[in-house]
Amino acid sequence: MNPVVNISTLSELHALTGLSEPAHPLIGMYVLRELPQVSMDHAMDIAMKLSLYTVMYKEGVEGSIGYGRSQYDYENGTLIFTAPGQELRFEGKRHAKDSASWMLLFHPDLLAGTDLGRRMDEYTYFGYDVTEALHLSTIEQAQALDIGKHIEAEYSQKLDAHSHKLILNNLELLLNQCMRFYDRQFFQRSAMHSGTLDRFNTALGAYLASGRALLEGLPRVDWIAQELCMSPNYLSDLLRKETGLSAQGHIHQTLVDRAKHALASSEESIGEIAFGLGFEQPQSFTRLFKKHTGMTPKTFRSNLN
């Protein structure tokens, strides 16, 4: 396997793949069939760790993507998203002149000091796994490409006082549309995911029943997500769409419910109950319990008597 090349800027990516200097230093839209073949050859030979956000659409080309240490085949008509710091490798046919695939890359500095930058955490799909790609309808494919082309047209012309705002407006439109598309996908696949909450509760219950919480601490979303073969972000968003509560919210609710049962049915001290659930400090347990019930564990137990 080729060594990983750290790429911090679009200029570095262009230099590495033989492209001319980018039209804009912080954002670039690339349609596969419009790229020189030599650049495609370079890209296929490089394992990259990008300090950039990426939005990648695949259509009409065979190949897979290396994401972290894993290699995934992903279907035509899909979008995948990666946040800065991810390692990417591309494998597949180098001749893709008829491919409609495209990629949008943008640097975090593009968002510095902006409202969009402050809200990037809302676009949780940048933390999804490649296997949780967004599958676009024909209309959605056209909409996403059209917005990408508007971004490209804006940064390709002479920049003026309005350019940055208009680029950001179009970028935000694309990201918001992708949130809408994912909502549609969650809804259409609700039957497929109908057992997710049961599987989540089973894994969480097994963790608490085994006594691991006393040794390893509070149950974590990333651990349960791994048990369910999902990314933490995707699991949390899926549960939120289905139930109104995130994965962390379900964990907290379960901890409070188990604490109520222990307070009502055992003589364990509040500290013992807290440690048994995985809390390092009883004060943290008390804060969570009061947040959910409006009273401290001590008051709750006293009211039972």
In whole angstroms, how large is the CA radius of gyration of the chain? 24
221-254 confidence digits (pLDDT tens): 999 999 999 999 999 999 998 889 999 999 999 9
Give the residue-averaged pLDDT of 270-297.
96
Q: Is 55 helix (H, G, I), strand (E, B) or coil?
A: strand
CA distance 195 to 242: 11
What class does CATH assign to 4-188? mainly beta
- pTM value > 0.85: no
Residue 42 has pLDDT above 70, yes or no: no
**Structural contact between residues 74 and 33, judged by C-beta atoms closer than 8 angstroms:** no
Instruction: Kindly report, as residue ranges, where domains of CATH 1.10.10.60 are found in the chain.
Output: 196-304
Q: Which of 39-53, 204-218, 249-263 has the lowest mean pLDDT?
A: 39-53
pLDDT band at 188 (very low <50, low <70, confident <90, very high): confident
The count of residues in the chain is: 305
- Residue 213's pLDDT is 93
Dihedral Cα 160, 164, 169, 172, nearest 10 deg: 160
**Structural contact between residues 104 and 174, judged by C-beta atoms closer than 8 angstroms:** yes
The DSSP-derived string for 163-183 is HHHHHHHHHHHHHHHHHHHHH
CA distance 211 to 278: 9
Instruction: Kindly report, as residue ranges, where domains of CATH 2.60.120.280 are found in the chain.
Output: 4-188
60-69 confidence digits (pLDDT tens): 666 666 666 6
pLDDT higher at 47 or 230:
230
CATH fold for the domain made of 196-304: Arc Repressor Mutant, subunit A (1.10.10)
52-61 confidence digits (pLDDT tens): 999 999 886 6
Question: Tokens 């200029």 correspond to what residue?
Answer: 11
Residue 295 has pLDDT above 70, yes or no: yes
Question: Tokens 């109520």 correspond to what residue?
Answer: 260
The DSSP-derived string for 65-126 is EEETTEEEE--TTEEEEE-TT-EEEEEE-S--TT---EEEEE-GGGGTTSHHHHTGGG-GGG
